[in-house]
């Protein structure tokens, strides 16, 4: 097939898959959307015309996000703990009740702590794994049931540079993010032929409440922040808007062939 012919073919395929703007609203479920990367992602998606269900733990911050989403595309905030039994199914159902569909799941909610393996508290480990890995599996499972019915859908897992290289001092977090990357690959391997895409977006250290908390808890916060910035080629921390833009890109139908892989947005950390 010539290049021109393949472009025609691709655009015809896109037209087949396009939603009817009168009757169908592109619908996204974003976890951890009350803060940091998730908040920026919910807003960026809504700027791009998506109807967004924003999920998080903090009611006040959630209400503030909903106040930004509502005038755009009418998105909504739901306060929920994604580790609780039944919550993943309820969140997917909430999308379905609101718009009749679910096109995008962004598994973004995550937690982090520093502790070397020989000092690891196993209760903390279990909780981190429940938030960072078990909940995304349960959410993907629930979302897939709707997406497979639709014959299309995208699942974006917000992993980390720490899922690709072993960042010192945080084995629990590293393990959870490596698992998330394999969740993405497994979804693509099993469901790509049925119209499902999965992508891991791997941020490098990005200025959010999660990182500000880690900086504040260091013995010398200013030195810790300098160290975080200087150990990457870009010599700075990431900005939430940069990660959100990568997620919006990965969610776009224009990159329908992007599947199972990682989009690494880390200022070059993992290439040196
Ligand atoms: N900030 C970084 O440098 C960085 C780097 C790599 C990856 N990440 C990943 O990006 C994601 C977002 O991180 P952030 O820095 O924006 O964090 P953040 O602390 O600013 O936000 C975390 C969000 O997750 C939500 N959350 C936490 N536990 C939850 C639970 N049990 N149920 C529902 N919601 C829950 C919080 O309410 C909040 O909305 C995380 O998965 C994190 O691991 C962050």
For residue range 71-98, what is the model confidence (pLDDT) as tens digits? 999 999 999 999 999 999 999 999 999 9
pLDDT at 254 over 60: yes
Choice among 173, 191, 257, 269 that is catalytic: 173
Pocket mutation for ligand 1, best pick of 31, 37, 91, 165 (most atoms within 8 Å of C-beta): 37
Q: Which atom of ligand 1 is nearest to the CA of 177?
A: 43
Q: Is the CB of 35 under 6 A from ligand 1?
A: yes
Q: Which atom of ligand 1 is nearest to the CA of 58?
A: 37
Q: Is the CB of 30 under 6 A from ligand 1?
A: no
Q: Taking the CA of residue 113 as centre, how many other CA atoms within 13 Å lie in the half-sphere pointing to its CB? A: 15
Helix/strand/coil for 80: coil
pLDDT digits (tens, 9 = 90+) for 157-175: 999 999 999 999 999 999 9
SS3 letters across 206-272? ECCHHHHHHHHCCCCHHHHHHHHHHCCCCCCCECHHHHHHHHHHHHCHHHCCCCCCEEEECCCHHHC
Q: Is the CB of 86 under 6 A from ligand 1?
A: no
Q: Is the CB of 206 under 6 A from ligand 1?
A: yes
pLDDT at 8 over 80: no
Pocket mutation for ligand 1, best pick of 36, 64, 77, 132 (most atoms within 8 Å of C-beta): 36
State both tokens at 52: 């967004």
Least-confidence region, from 16-20, 142-146, 224-228, 248-252: 16-20
- Mean pLDDT along residues 182-186: 99
pLDDT at 204 over 60: yes
Mean residue pLDDT of the chain comes to 93
pLDDT at 1 over 80: no
Give me ligand 1 centre to Cα 32, in Å: 6
pLDDT digits (tens, 9 = 90+) for 106-130: 999 999 999 999 999 999 999 999 9
**pLDDT of the residue at 237:** 97
Give me ligand 1 centre to Cα 110, in Å: 4
Give me ligand 1 centre to Cα 36, in Å: 7
The domain spans of the chain are 26-208+239-265
pTM: 0.94
Pocket mutation for ligand 1, best pick of 29, 30, 38, 172 (most atoms within 8 Å of C-beta): 38
**pLDDT of the residue at 22:** 66
pLDDT digits (tens, 9 = 90+) for 227-244: 999 999 999 999 999 999
**Tokens 């087949």, residue located:** 16
Q: Could you tell me if 144 and 73 are in contact, meaning their C-beta atoms sit under 8 angstroms apart?
A: no
Q: Could you tell me if 88 and 135 are in contact, meaning their C-beta atoms sit under 8 angstroms apart?
A: yes
Q: Report whether CATH 3.30.1280.10 matches the domain 26-208+239-265.
A: no
Task: Report which secondary-structure segment, H or E, holds 51.
Answer: strand 51-56
| Distance from C-alpha of 34 to C-alpha of 235, rounded to nearest angstrom | 28
**233: which DSSP letter?**
T
Q: Is the CB of 160 under 6 A from ligand 1?
A: yes
173 is catalytic: yes
State both tokens at 41: 């992602």
């Amino acid at each position: 097939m010539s290049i021109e012919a393949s472009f025609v073919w691709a655009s015809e395929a896109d037209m087949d898959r396009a939603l009817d703007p009168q009757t169908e609203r592109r619908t996204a479920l974003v976890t951890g959307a009350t803060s940091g990367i998730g908040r920026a992602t919910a807003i960026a998606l809504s700027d791009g015309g998506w109807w967004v269900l924003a999920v998080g733990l903090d009611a006040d911050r959630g209400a503030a996000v909903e106040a930004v989403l509502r005038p755009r595309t009418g998105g909504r905030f739901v306060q929920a703990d994604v580790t609780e039994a039944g919550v993943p199914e309820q969140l997917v159902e909430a999308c379905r009740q609101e718009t009749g569909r679910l096109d995008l799941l962004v598994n973004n909610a995550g937690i982090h702590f520093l502790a070397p393996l020989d000092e690891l508290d196993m209760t903390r480990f279990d909780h981190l794994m429940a938030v960072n890995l078990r909940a995304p599996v349960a959410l993907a499972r629930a979302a897939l049931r709707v997406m497979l019915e639709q014959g299309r859908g995208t699942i974006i897992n917000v992993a980390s540079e720490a899922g690709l290289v072993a960042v010192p001092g945080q084995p629990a977090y590293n393990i959870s993010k490596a698992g998330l990357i394999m969740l993405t690959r497994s979804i693509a391997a099993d469901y790509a032929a049925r119209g499902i895409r999965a992508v891991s977006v791997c941020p490098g250290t990005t200025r959010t409440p999660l990182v500000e908390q880690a900086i504040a808890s260091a013995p010398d916060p200013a030195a810790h922040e300098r160290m975080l910035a200087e150990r990457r080629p870009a010599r700075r921390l990431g900005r939430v808007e940069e990660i959100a833009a990568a997620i919006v890109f990965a969610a776009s139908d224009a990159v329908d062939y992007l599947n199972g892989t990682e989009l690494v947005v880390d200022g070059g950390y993992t290439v040196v």
